[in-house]
Structure 1
């Protein structure tokens, strides 16, 4: 194998692919990045049996070939090289990386032992990449981090002829976001569960444009530009989140600017006990944000708010409340019934695309 490639192009391809490298590989070869040089360019791949990444970069290939190199070392080396063309040349069990006056010789790993990467499943539709990334960022905080309950660590994707809906829950809150998309076969409905942490990581690095989503028996894929990612699916069982997100269930509605409310919650909780509550006391024309009362002290802040319904004093876990408020730009509506029942955070409008149900805390 011998090729020449632009330094920035290779650095981008290697850095993106290296995100799929496992921290504790189950086999030594999984710590490597697979480089395939062919007439159409250089393909860089990584695989850990749960997720795979591959991307093709433009390169001047003098001698086609295939080599497996230590992934994290390669990423650090390429990142540190000057902004000049890079030459990679295989000789025996070493790859020589030359860039300007710098030269590195990396020992190869046994490429024949590297597992075959899964093929992307059949596409089910396309969606704007940046809108998908924003939607995943809105719902991902509600996915559980408890790996002993895999079902709760995922983001559920529901797809029909008009909408792609993402939803997640950790039993204390339920977040959902609707997106418009273009299904491949409009009559088909799809419901799958993708690991939330992986989906969030994948969508953060999507290039601008359309992303094609594929779904098979056990795999999902996202393809955008020259980048392809596959991820193993979780058990698709999920709660009936739509029934819990009905606007008709709430008799009290408050509307307030999200950014000042977020800032006020962060300020007053500076004196709150660890794991303590933040209280929102709504009355006509205002909301008082309160926290503390233990050994440290108390804090409160008043903000203007519109209230439709009876006055209410309701408390939340601060982090859960902030995650929900962060998903809304501009004005936020909060639907409530009693201080002991969950509240619904939504965008203004009759059919909000983003809905976040959060449990209320009982306070003495």
Structure 2
């Protein structure tokens, strides 16, 4: 395989897929590599950990392909090398065991592994295709992803539920202590479907959608599902820094029964507090100085209609309190919330924030005033 390519184009293509590579060699050293497939007109890069597979396709100008072929190269080393090269053009000359990387006066020799040994995640047989605008899908993920569990024996909690119901798509994430739900309307109606997308795939899809949003106009995205996989293909416009590249993702869905989020959403609250988001966020930020991993709670003492006392005490016997403006209705209540959980909700909402509660030990419902049909958040109080 012999290739001469613009350095920036190669860097961008590598950056699109490299995060899918298995850098910890959990499955085998070849999955720490990127697979290169070179034809006369197209360069394809593939990275995978057999749970998520990313593919970037680059259309080549005439003369870029010197000799068609395929190989695999270490993802991290190649990316760092290309970033350090100062010349505009980079050449790759690979044989069965080595690849010579040349840029200007610099030369690097990297070990290759056979492309035929690079495993495939599988071949999806998509039976459900969903059309949704890029920005809509990005917002749906960004409003819920933070509530996913990072490590849990209930592996389905480390992913995100996508529920298709007619002309509505719902994303749900929970770690058992908090719940995030977001709804978006679809332009067409689809059969009912529930799939659990793994956390890494959710993060990579959000990243790719964010990159495209910065470089291309808002266009529909096709999401495909079968019983085992999800698949998406995204394209950059010709005037973006990615110069007409395409990127695809295949991810293995998580098996399991996701909790019924409708049963988790509380109702029948008799205590309601409405805050200004910015003011509440500033109070929590200041009090967080004394919050620790062992004592993450912030205590809210609701006793007046227009003011709530917010306080924190840690195990070193440090203490702090502030009065925060609020519009409160209901009997007096003392309730403690995980400070980080509250701030995570505030980061994805705007304007006035409404918290509905019943008792100090029962879940609270949080949403943005006037936006309760699109986003709902549930946070479990902490025992005082």
> Structure 2 length as normaliser, TM-score?
0.87
Aligned match of 1:152 in 132, 157, 169? 157
CA drift at 1:239: 1.4
Over aligned residue pairs, what C-alpha RMSD do you find?
2.1
After superposition, where does 1:184-203 map in structure 2 within 5 Å?
A: 186-203=189-206
1:316 is the counterpart of 2:345? no
> Is 1:19 aligned to residue 19 of structure 2?
yes
In structure 2, C-alpha distance between the alignment counterparts of 1:34 and 1:148, rounded to whole Å: 33
The answer to whether the aligner puts 1:140 opposite 2:119 as a matched pair is no
Report deviation, 1:220: 1.0
Matched, 1:116 2:120: yes
Alpha-carbon contact 2:273-2:328 (below 8 Å) kept: yes
> How big is each residue's C-alpha offset from its partner over 1:112-161, in whole Å with a ceiling of 9 and x where there is no partner?
21123534553521223333233323322222222422021111110122
* Structure 1 portions without partners, runs of 5+: none
Q: Quick check: 1:284–1:311 contact (8 Å CA) kept in 2?
A: no
Paired residues of 2:353 and 2:367 also in contact (CA < 8 A):
yes
Contact between 1:276 and 1:292, CA under 8 Å: does it hold in 2? no
How far the C-alpha of 1:12 sits from its partner, in A, is 1.2
Equivalent residue number for residue 6 of structure 1: 6
- Measured after TM superposition, the shift of residue 55 of structure 1 is 0.6
Partner residue in 2 for 1:341: 362
User: Given the superposition, is the C-alpha separation of residues 360 and 179 from structure 1 closer, same or farther in structure 2, using an over 3 Å criterion?
Assistant: same
Deviation per CA, 1:5-64, whole angstroms, max 9, x where unpaired?
221111011122110111233122212110011234211001221110101123232322
Q: Distance in 2 between matches of 1:350 and 1:323?
A: 17
The alpha carbon displacement at 1:257 in A equals 1.5
> Residues of 2 paired with 1:330 and 1:175: CA distance?
18
Q: Across the two proteins, how many residue pairs are aligned to each other?
A: 360
**Match in the other structure for 1:235:** 255
Q: Distance in 2 between matches of 1:173 and 1:128?
A: 28
Q: 1:83, CA displacement in angstroms?
A: 5.2
Summarize the Cα distance change of 1:242–1:106 in structure 2 as closer, same or farther, 3 Å threshold.
Answer: same
Q: 2:285 aligns with which of 266, 287, 290?
A: 266
Q: Secondary structure at the match of 1:205?
A: helix
Q: Deviations over 1:281-339 (max 9, x none)?
A: 23312222211165332211122222233343211122222222222122211111122
- 2:79 corresponds, among 75, 80, 88, to 75
Match status 1:253 vs 2:276: no
Question: Which position in structure 2 is the counterpart of 1:285?
Answer: 306
Gaps of at least 5 residues in structure 2 are 236-245
